Structure 1
Amino acid sequence: MQLRYFMISLDDYMLPCLNKKFFGIECPGCGAQRAISFLFKGEFADAFAMYPAIFTIIPLLVFLLADSFFTIKHSNTIIITLMVSSVILILGNYILKFI
């Protein structure tokens, strides 16, 4: 029950997108906060629909953290793959918003 109350309060304090507020168009990062909120609630399909790159960014951050503490074989290849995948998903999602 405590996690549910935390998530309700988290939704109340999301930051607005300044790019959308001032210029009227969404930035490439729009939807990331809501996608994280959906992930905490267990709504994975909604998180993917909101911001698909969240499923590559989170493993990338976890892997970068783990790589700073442990020696991982082929870490450069894994990092580059996750980064390229994230950029492709971010740009693809951004382009699809305008179509």
Structure 2
Amino acid sequence: MGCGLQRSLLLIYQGEFVSAFYMYPAVYTLIPLFLLIGLNLFLKVKRLNKIINLLAILSISIIIINFILKFLN
């Protein structure tokens, strides 16, 4: 029992993008978030921090909404 992130990443790897979204909707914001955080370690770009913050807030919002919806069903 877990959040479904690893299973959704496996589904993306297999090309099942819609199934990955239903498994864990935040996967599509977390992938670019982690890539940009890694990129930010090597390159210091001013606007990259704003994008990272926006993606983090969006990811957290999706995770919370998804949890509430799954809890109610």
TM-score over 0.5 for the pair: yes
Give the number of the structure whose alpha-carbon radius of gyration is greater: 1
**Where does residue 10 of structure 1 map in the other structure?**
none
Deviation above 4 Å: which 4+ runs of structure 1? none
The answer to which structure has the higher helix fraction is 2
Deviation at 1:82, TM superposition (A): 0.5
Residue in structure 1 matched with residue 59 of structure 2 by the alignment = 86
TM-score scaled by length of structure 2: 0.90
Any gaps of 5 or more consecutive residues in structure 1? 1-16, 18-28
Deviations 1:25-72 (A, max 9, x none): xxxx51111101101101110000110000011100000111111122
Q: TM-score, normalised by structure 1?
A: 0.68
Percent of pairs identical after alignment? 43
Q: CA–CA distance in 1 between the matches of 2:40 and 2:49?
A: 10
Letter in 1 for 2:66: N
Alignment of 1:43-54 (within 5 A): 43-54=16-27
> Does the alignment pair 1:32 with 2:36?
no
Question: What is the alpha-carbon root mean square deviation over aligned residues?
Answer: 1.1
Extract unaligned runs of 5+ from structure 2.
none
Report SS of the residue matched to 1:30. coil
Deviation of 1:75 (Å): 1.6
Aligned residues: 72
